């Protein structure tokens, strides 16, 4: 079996690929397209966050969104219970699940620094919130339904304790 034609085709296509303004990456997307994709990653009003908000509203809870005066600008703030909720994506916030542990193979130094600094920032924000008397809950996207159920159960218990 002759491997030479395949190798020649690969080299030829690689030259064309690089000459058209693409960077040599694990995928075949131009830097402009990659930038557009990354810009589309939202920080607020994500699908998992909306899922949690709808469950809270359906349960009769009232809340504030993205309260900027609190450290970390929590996704959901329940002032009545002095409780804040962060709805975190596993990849971006370094959860200990399969999605959170997998890091990009290309540009490792950048991604390791970026994701590690996210984890450190999250820890610092949670610590500051606890110091100022807030209960902090994190719901991860990998266990969204279970996290929502746990939160609603905790709120029901807190509500019962307040009404006594």
pTM exceeds 0.85, yes or no: no
* pLDDT above 80 for 3: no
Answer whether CATH 1.20.1440.230 is correct for domain 47-163. no
**Highest mean pLDDT, choosing among 3-7, 11-15, 40-44, 49-53:** 49-53
* pLDDT above 50 for 81: yes
Q: Which residue has the tokens 């959170």?
A: 100
* pLDDT above 50 for 43: yes
Buried b (16+ CB within 10 A) or exposed e, 60-76: ebebeeebeebbbbbbb
The predicted-structure confidence for 118-160, as pLDDT tens digits, reads as follows: 999 999 999 999 999 999 999 999 998 999 999 999 999 998 8
* pLDDT above 50 for 7: no
- Domain ranges within the chain, ordered by starting residue: 4-39, 47-163
How far, CA to CA in Å, does 17 sit from each of 26, 105, 106, 119? 13, 20, 17, 36
């Amino acid at each position: 079996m002759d491997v030479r034609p395949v190798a020649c085709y690969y080299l030829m296509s690689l030259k064309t690929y690089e000459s058209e303004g693409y960077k040599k990456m694990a995928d075949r997307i131009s830097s402009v397209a990659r930038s557009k994709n990354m810009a589309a990653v939202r920080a607020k009003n994500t699908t998992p966050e909306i899922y949690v908000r709808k469950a809270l509203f359906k349960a009769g809870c009232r809340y504030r969104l993205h309260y900027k005066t609190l450290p970390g600008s929590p996704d959901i703030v329940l002032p009545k219970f002095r409780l804040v909720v962060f709805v975190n994506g596993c990849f971006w916030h370094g959860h200990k699940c399969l999605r959170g542990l997998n890091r990009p193979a290309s540009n490792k130094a950048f991604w390791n620094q970026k994701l590690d600094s996210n984890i450190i920032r999250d820890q610092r924000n949670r610590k500051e919130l606890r110091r100022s008397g807030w209960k902090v809950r994190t719901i991860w996207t990998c266990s969204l339904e279970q996290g929502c159920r746990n939160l609603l159960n905790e709120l029901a218990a807190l509500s019962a304790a307040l009404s006594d």
